[in-house]
Amino acid sequence: MRYFLEVAYKGTRYKGFQIQKNALTIQGEIEKAFEVLFKRAVELTGSSRTDAGVHARQNFFHFDWPETFEQKWIYNLNAILPGDISIISVAEKSDEAHCRFDALSRTYHYHVYQYKNPFLTDQAYFYPYALNIALLNDAAAILKKYTDFTSFSKKNTQVKTFNCTILQSEWIVKDDQLIYVVSSNRFLRGMVRALTATMLKVGRGTISIDTFRSIIESKDCSNTWFDTPAHGLTLMQVSYS
């Protein structure tokens, strides 16, 4: 039987979501917990890779299991897992269900704070510069008019297309933070951090809205900024039908 496993995690200590040789990862820790509890290995498939240091309020794996998965085992697995990883739920799905390919959209938040706050140091980006929020939202709205985001993808990425459909793109103010909220059917490697970094240049007045448009249309990532740190980024939701 196939199951979807919903997880949340604080990515500070980890080298990323997907298992890597000789590295601490979210997938590696969960597979290890399964082996400790059940004395047999499980092969997990992830829905959305997150980079080293990136957090998630919701992400998914799927796995096949030879028997009914009992809900009480969630408690047992969480007792084994470190405190910065939590299994939220396990749900039975059809045998053909795929947590990556069946996802309709993903939503990320990038958190920025402008005044020193020791409680945000590992979950938001300290950016102590004056920002024009209206300009930030003008730039965010422009993104919905485009589909080719080559300019916002890191080099050496193995994808067949750089096209993405952005469903939501806006800046909001909440809990003394400035948050970039973006939803899309897919994201490219480094895309959200690059979008955020480049829009911050618009909000600060370093580049104009017209320059921002030209960066998008150039389809050249050498024109783009990628310098926002990973710890400000959180995967908030993976949506299915």
- Name the residues annotated as catalytic: 51
Query: Which DSSP helix (H) or strand (E) runs through 218?
Result: helix 209-218
Q: Which two tokens stand for residue 215?
A: 């960066």
Helix axes 133-143 and 209-218, enclosed angle (nearest 10): 30
Is residue 178 within 8 Å of residue 128, measured between CB atoms? no
Q: Which two tokens stand for residue 175?
A: 């809990």
The sign of the torsion formed by the CA atoms of 89, 93, 96, 97 equals negative
Query: Which DSSP helix (H) or strand (E) runs through 167?
Result: strand 166-174
Of 107, 122, 127, 111, nearest in space to 177 by CA: 111
Q: Which two tokens stand for residue 234?
A: 């959180």
Contacts of 228 (CB under 8 A, 6+ apart): 110, 125, 193, 194, 196, 197, 200
CA–CA separation, 55 and 224 (whole Å): 23
Q: How many distinct helices (H) and strands (E) make up the chain? A: 5, 9
